[in-house]
């Protein structure tokens, strides 16, 4: 099987990091990300408040195929304590978070120790869908720390 990977960049922080999709451990989640990035995407992001060292990137509903959006994402390779370098895909069913009629799909880029999947709605396991290439871990940490300092941003994501 061919290894699939993606790259995340953000101009103001200098962030550029490659992630390898975990196709064996999280097949449906990896497919979700791969399908989403059939076209390179620019997605608004912000440093998370509840989950620790994470840049949170909620995927706009308009970017998700309606058929995919209508299906629940199963738990696979799930965690509530992400590690530095984990890319976590969190799924929140429709109406669970503030009555939002659409499900929420959130890509969380964890860059340091102490990550936790604690949301305003409580603990929510997320799927570790990819892991940063080891040689890019420091670049991920530095870029995400700059984003934390600078505020909201736009992440560019693409297949590699």
3-state secondary structure 66-121: HHHHCCCCCCCCEECCCCCCEEEEEEECCCCCCCCCCCEEEEEEECCCCCCCEECC
Query: What's the predicted TM-score (pTM) here?
Result: 0.96
Q: Are 108 and 51 in contact (CB under 8 A)?
A: yes
Torsion angle of the four alpha carbons 152, 153, 154, 160, in this order, in degrees rounded to the nearest 10: -120
> Do residues 87 and 107 make contact, with C-beta atoms less than 8 angstroms apart?
yes
Q: 3.40.250.10, 3.40.50.300, 2.50.20.10, 2.40.100.20: which CATH number matches 5-159?
A: 2.40.100.20
Q: List, for residues 53-88, the tens digit of each pLDDT value.
A: 999 999 999 999 998 988 899 999 999 999 999 999
């Amino acid at each position: 099987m061919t290894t699939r990977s993606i790259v995340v960049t953000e101009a103001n922080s200098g962030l550029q990091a490659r992630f390898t999709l975990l196709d064996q451990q999280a097949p449906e989640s990896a497919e979700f990300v791969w399908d989403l990035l059939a076209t390179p995407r620019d997605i608004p992001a912000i440093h998370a408040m509840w989950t620790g060292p994470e840049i949170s990137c909620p995927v706009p509903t308009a970017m998700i195929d309606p058929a995919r959006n209508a299906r629940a994402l199963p738990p696979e390779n799930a965690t509530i304590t992400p590690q530095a370098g984990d890319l976590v895909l969190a799924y929140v069913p429709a109406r669970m978070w503030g009555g939002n009629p659409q499900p929420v799909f959130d890509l969380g880029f964890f860059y340091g120790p102490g990550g936790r999947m604690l949301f305003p709605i409580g603990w929510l396991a997320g799927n570790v869908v990819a892991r940063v290439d080891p040689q890019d871990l420091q670049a991920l940490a530095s870029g995400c720390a700059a984003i934390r300092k600078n505020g909201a941003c736009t992440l560019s994501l693409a297949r590699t």
